[in-house]
């Protein structure tokens, strides 16, 4: 089980998932009542368009994930620290050898159409995930093909693994599908099934209708589910409206058409933050910008020297990159594991921007400036010169140019090469045909911090360890953490891994982008912690409620119920 993190990829820093590092504004309650009450309509603007309302098919569309988070449920869900919580499964246990997981499902759970949810629906969904014709990423299919799923009765189910895999619980958070509606659909036809535009789930909200305006899909209406197995939501109806960009979504808020914005970008950020009618919530996203080195390429043997790598990290003003090119919309990274995760360690070595220290490290490593002054550092006839690949977006290009210019002050010569994302991955990273690369690792949707796919030596040639880091000590930590059933032991192993990583610096961690969410002060009970996907902002949506303004008790917006 070496390559289950199929989500890894290259991510556009300025697209709909890029977010904002700002302290959330405090609720401006004024004359509002903050006592929870049932009823009302909440409308949120999403930047994007409707694809398929099916949790197995939403991996490429984040706004679909937002809607599906309210429609569907998994066996488990995860809190903001990545710890598993009960959902459709009320209890779970695993064997001492880490190979068997037993789960008991909640009884009397109903689908939105009133049909009973049972273990047959779990078997049906996992069989879909394992079927070779289901249109999902191949690594995910291969993973589920290795899992044996047994239903003992309607409410007791068992998963049997071929080898221990501690992150397995992550995969039990996938939204489940109803066998009674899709059982006769061939997996190859799943993507074109009418179910995807008229879904039935078990989540806190049920599907109402699709809003069509001028022959185009303009939104989706969801209604509080009368069959929800937990405490039902306060808000009766949620409508998602689709917009092409944040500016039009913000104008819709100003016009009283929506109460929240699922995406706030730099174009409207300043206006949103000073708007007294909006609260802003910020959280880091599971994405890490890094400079990767090809540690096993003959043209750049100096990358194998840790002092050179440390010098290059000291030679990047990471906070300046965040402030100048991302408007402060990121946290400077201090390692490869997400801050806020149960596995994150505060003991990592921090590498500040220090050109004097960087110069000293390079001198200590034997790289000297030519006697005539200026030029590129060299040692034994090998010049400290290399090509830095980067995505050809404006933000990445600007950051790559800044890094190149700062490294030039150290006597390091860098040639930039900007390419599109697909080419960067397929032609350079996967075949290991590069020297250095500015990239973004996407760790979305998997709360377990398992860094094995990116840094274990077994992944160096054909997996996602694009740096080809073959450090045996690091690999042992990752191997043991991946098979241990003790979270305490895993915490210790990941702490040791992070300490070792920060001493060796096989790649240069830059920053974690953050997500900014704007929502009207009329919506109370919102609580957003660290996110493993932007749709995690709905984790406590059942606790959200609407308040009326002033003595009249009238909503000040122009929104009307459908």
Pairing of strands 156-160, 148-151: antiparallel
Asked whether residue 221 is domain-assigned, the answer is no
Cβ–Cβ < 8 Å for 477, 50: no
d(CA 511, CA 20): 12
pTM reported for the whole predicted model:
0.86
Pairing of strands 41-47, 260-261: parallel
Number of helical (H) and strand (E) elements in the chain, helices listed first = 14, 22
Tell me how many domains the chain contains.
1
d(CA 184, CA 221): 27
Asked whether residue 478 is domain-assigned, the answer is yes
pLDDT (tens digit, 9 = 90+) per residue, 91-120?
A: 999 999 999 999 999 999 999 999 999 999
Q: What angle do CA 17, 388, 473 make, to 5 degrees?
A: 80
Asked whether residue 83 is domain-assigned, the answer is no
Asked whether residue 504 is domain-assigned, the answer is yes
pLDDT (tens digit, 9 = 90+) per residue, 35-81?
A: 788 999 999 999 999 999 999 999 989 999 999 999 999 999 999 88
Burial of 298 (0-12, 13-18, 19+ CB in 10 A): exposed
Residue 8 has pLDDT above 70, yes or no: no
Q: What is the pLDDT of residue 37?
A: 86
Residue appearing with tokens 């209406």:
221
d(CA 268, CA 243): 14
Q: What is the pLDDT of residue 19?
A: 36
Burial of 255 (0-12, 13-18, 19+ CB in 10 A): exposed
Asked whether residue 85 is domain-assigned, the answer is no
What is the domain range of residue 489? Answer: 287-513
Asked whether residue 364 is domain-assigned, the answer is yes
Quickly list DSSP for 66-91. HHHHHH---SEEE-TTS-EEESSEEE
d(CA 234, CA 126): 32
Q: Find the CATH number of the domain harbouring 291.
A: 3.10.105.10
**Mean local confidence (pLDDT), 446-461:** 93
Asked whether residue 375 is domain-assigned, the answer is yes
d(CA 33, CA 466): 54
d(CA 233, CA 224): 6
Between the alpha carbon of residue 145 and those of residues 4, 139, 165, 177, 178, the distances in Å are: 12, 10, 15, 18, 20
pLDDT (tens digit, 9 = 90+) per residue, 267-298?
A: 898 899 999 999 999 888 889 999 999 999 99
Quick one: the chain helix, strand, coil %, rounded to 5? 30, 20, 45
pLDDT (tens digit, 9 = 90+) per residue, 386-443?
A: 999 999 999 999 999 999 999 999 999 999 999 999 999 999 999 999 999 999 998 8
Q: Residue 7: pLDDT band by 50, 70, 90 thresholds?
A: very low
Q: What is the pLDDT of residue 541?
A: 96
Asked whether residue 408 is domain-assigned, the answer is yes
């Amino acid at each position: 089980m070496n390559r289950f993190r199929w989500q890894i990829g290259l991510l556009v820093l300025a697209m709909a998932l890029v977010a904002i590092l700002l302290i959330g504004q405090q609720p401006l309650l004024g004359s509002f009542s903050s006592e929870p009450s049932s009823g009302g309509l909440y409308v949120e603007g999403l930047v994007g368009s409707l694809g398929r309302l099916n949790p197995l098919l939403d991996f490429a569309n984040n706004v679909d994930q937002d809607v599906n988070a309210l429609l569907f449920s998994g066996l488990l869900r995860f809190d903001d620290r990545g710890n598993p919580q009960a959902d459709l499964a009320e209890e779970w246990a695993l064997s001492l050898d880490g190979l068997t997981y037993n789960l008991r499902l909640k009884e009397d759970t109903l689908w939105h159409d009133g049909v009973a949810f049972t273990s047959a629906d779990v078997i049906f969904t996992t069989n879909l995930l394992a079927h070779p014709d289901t249109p999902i990423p191949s690594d995910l299919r291969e993973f589920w093909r290795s899992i044996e799923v047994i239903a003992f009765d309607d409410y007791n189910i068992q998963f049997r693994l071929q080898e221990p895999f501690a992150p397995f619980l992550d995969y039990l958070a996938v939204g489940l599908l109803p066998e009674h509606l899709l059982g006769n659909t061939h997996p190859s036809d799943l993507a074109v099934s009418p179910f995807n535009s008229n879904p039935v789930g078990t989540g806190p909200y049920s599907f109402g209708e699709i809003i069509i305006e001028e022959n185009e899909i303009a939104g989706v209406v969801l209604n509080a589910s009368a069959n929800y197995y937990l405490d039902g939501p306060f808000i009766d109806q949620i409508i998602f409206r689709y917009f092409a960009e944040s500016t039009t979504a913000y104008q819709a808020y100003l016009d009283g058409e929506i109460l929240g914005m699922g995406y706030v970008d730099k174009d409207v950020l300043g206006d949103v933050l000073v708007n007294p009618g909006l609260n802003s919530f910020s959280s880091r996203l599971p994405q890490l910008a890094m400079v990767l080195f090809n540690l096993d390429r003959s043209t750049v043997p100096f990358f194998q020297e840790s002092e050179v790598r440390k010098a290059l990290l000291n030679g990047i003003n990471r906070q300046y990159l965040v402030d100048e090119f991302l408007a402060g919309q990121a946290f400077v990274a201090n390692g490869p594991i997400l801050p806020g995760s149960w596995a994150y360690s505060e003991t990592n070595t921090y590498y500040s921007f220090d050109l004097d220290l960087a110069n000293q490290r390079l001198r200590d490593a034997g790289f000297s400036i030519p006697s005539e002054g200026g030029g590129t550092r060299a040692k034994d006839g090998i010049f400290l010169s290399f090509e830095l690949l980067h995505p050809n977006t404006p933000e990445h290009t600007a950051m790559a140019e800044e890094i190149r210019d700062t490294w030039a002050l150290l006597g390091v010569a860098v040639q930039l090469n900007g390419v599109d994302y697909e080419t960067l991955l397929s032609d350079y990273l996967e075949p290991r045909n590069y020297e250095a690369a500015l990239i973004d690792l996407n760790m979305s949707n998997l709360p377990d911090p398992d860094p094995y796919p990116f840094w274990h030596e077994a992944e160096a040639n054909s997996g996602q360890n694009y740096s080809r880091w073959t450090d045996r000590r690091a690999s042992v930590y990752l191997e043991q953490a991946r098979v241990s059933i003790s979270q305490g032991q895993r915490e210790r192993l990941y702490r040791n891994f992070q300490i070792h990583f920060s001493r060796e610096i096989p790649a240069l961690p830059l920053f974690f982008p953050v997500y900014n969410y704007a929502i009207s002060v009329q919506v109370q009970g919102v609580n957003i912690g660290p996110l493993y996907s932007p749709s995690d902002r709905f984790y406590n949506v059942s606790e959200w409620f609407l308040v009326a303004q002033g003595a009249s008790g009238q909503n000040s917006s122009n929104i009307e119920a459908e």
